[in-house]
Amino acid sequence: MLPQLFARRYLFSSQSRSVVNLIAGLSVAAVAMPVAAMIILLSVFNGFESLVKSMYSAFDADLTVTPRQGQTFAQEEIDSAALRRIPGVGALSFTLEQSALLEHGGRQATATVRGVDDAYAEVFALGDAVSAGEWRVRLGDLERLVVGQSMAWMLGIRSLADADVTLYAVRRGSFSTLLPLENYTRRTEPVGGVYTLDLDTERTYVLSSLRLAQELFGYPGRVSSLVVRLDPGADAAGVRRAVAEAVGDDFRVRTRDELRASFYRIMTYEKWGIFFIALLVLVIASFSVVGALAMLIVEKRGDIVTLRALGADTGLVRAVFRSEGFLICGLGAAAGVVIGVGASLVQQHFGLIEIPAETFLTKSYPVEFRFADLLAVLAAFAAVAVLLSGVTVRSMIKHNE
């Protein structure tokens, strides 16, 4: 307690007003800014990560069942009724995905056509993403397509009133060099809805009915995957194991994160890369604490002599100035936490800072504060503070002084 008492008086006493105290105050500010910046940077990165995951969740299910061999399988190979009885399974839907060529008004584009059954809307809530028309891909016997907004612009679709799109798919099992058009299955269907998500998804996926996709690609009664939505609060790992046991070894069951494992892994590396770059800035800023401590030790040489005359050993004298360094760092960290957490929460809940560009995804910078990031920042800064304060005090206060 005695070292902490001396440290507080050196910093806060009304009689301790000098250039050293001014430098100590500036050191507090120099430490606070990088700490706040680290918290804000990590929160912004979390926000973009959550935004990307939410975009992918529009087409990546909680669980996806695919065959281990081949691209398709017969629907009857999976007992969907048994899967629905598994606790935690909310809904499931069969899909068939293949690449196709789209044509409208002389314009062409390639896309992945995803044929979906009537239960697809129970797995994915597409209503909020549809900006024109509706998401339904079949009205009775009438087939309709749902395309991304970017795909609609690429094909020159400006109105759903005149939006018939021709789909071309390579015909399986035959190929003729004399009659090239005979190598393709062709269907012309109207566009009934346009959805708005991220640019890549809008250019990639076109929704159709499962029946249309099976006829177009020549896979009657076959599908490429079974997508599953979990109930809120369900144990994803437990449900995944149960589903895997139910479908057997011929199928692979993957979570949303496993479907894009490499992408999410890269995002994690980027986040911690930003963390260590910001930590380097914090270390450089913390050298101001070294300067403040060095000047304080020089200024208090007389006090050190007095303490030694009163019986204080070198350990106690060093503890006084180490406590001074910890106090400066602690005040800076506290100020940085207040600024960083406060700014992150304000942006997270109110979105005051908007992105200066036209976007359909979000109007303001996405921010998500996580307590684990705060602990990581404080732990890293504590290690820096202990190291710098300890080395500075030990190098300037010798045993024989």
Q: For 104-163, write each residue's pLDDT tens digit.
A: 999 999 999 999 999 999 999 887 788 899 988 998 889 999 999 999 999 999 889 888
User: Using one digit for the tens of pLDDT, what is the confidence trace for 23-43?
Assistant: 788 889 999 999 999 999 999
11 has a pLDDT exceeding 80: no
pLDDT of residue 179: 45
Residue range 328-344: average pLDDT? Answer: 95
Cβ contacts of 184 within 8 Å, gap of 6 or more: 101, 168, 169, 170, 171
pLDDT of residue 396: 85
How far apart are alpha carbons 292 and 106 in whole angstroms?
Answer: 72
DSSP string, 349-371: HH--SB-SS--SS-SB------H
User: Computed from CA positions of residues 380, 270, 339, 22, in that sequence, does the dihedral angle turn out positive or negative?
Assistant: positive
User: What residues form DSSP beta bridges with 148?
Assistant: 195
Residue 156 three-state SS: coil
Strands 130-133 and 184-195: antiparallel
Residue range 372-383: average pLDDT? Answer: 95
92 has a pLDDT exceeding 60: yes
pLDDT of residue 7: 73
Confidence of residue 93 (pLDDT cuts 50, 70, 90): very high
Q: Is 141 exposed, middle or buried (0-12, 13-18, 19+ CB in 10 A)?
A: exposed
Please say whether the beta carbons of 203 and 151 come within 8 A. yes
How far apart are alpha carbons 383 and 379 in whole angstroms?
Answer: 6
Give the alpha-carbon dihedral of 193, 194, 196, 198, to 10 degrees: 120
How far apart are alpha carbons 165 and 188 in whole angstroms?
Answer: 5
Confidence of residue 338 (pLDDT cuts 50, 70, 90): very high
Instruction: With CA atoms as reference, report the closest residue to 29 among 328, 309, 314.
Output: 328
How far apart are alpha carbons 324 and 322 in whole angstroms?
Answer: 5
Share of the chain above pLDDT 90, in %: 58
pTM: 0.80
Residue 364 three-state SS: strand
pLDDT of residue 262: 87
Amino acid at 55: M
Cβ contacts of 283 within 8 Å, gap of 6 or more: 384
Residue range 304-314: average pLDDT? Answer: 82
Please say whether the beta carbons of 107 and 152 come within 8 A. no
pLDDT of residue 399: 57
Please say whether the beta carbons of 82 and 131 come within 8 A. no
Higher pLDDT, 357 or 54: 54
**Please, which contacts does 308-316 make with residues 24 or more away whose CB atoms are closer than 8 Å?**
314/397, 314/398, 314/399, 314/401, 316/2, 316/3
Out of 23-27, 49-53, 54-58, 384-388, pick the least confident: 54-58
Residue 14 three-state SS: coil
User: Using one digit for the tens of pLDDT, what is the confidence trace for 166-217?
Assistant: 999 988 766 555 445 667 889 999 999 999 888 888 999 999 999 999 999 9
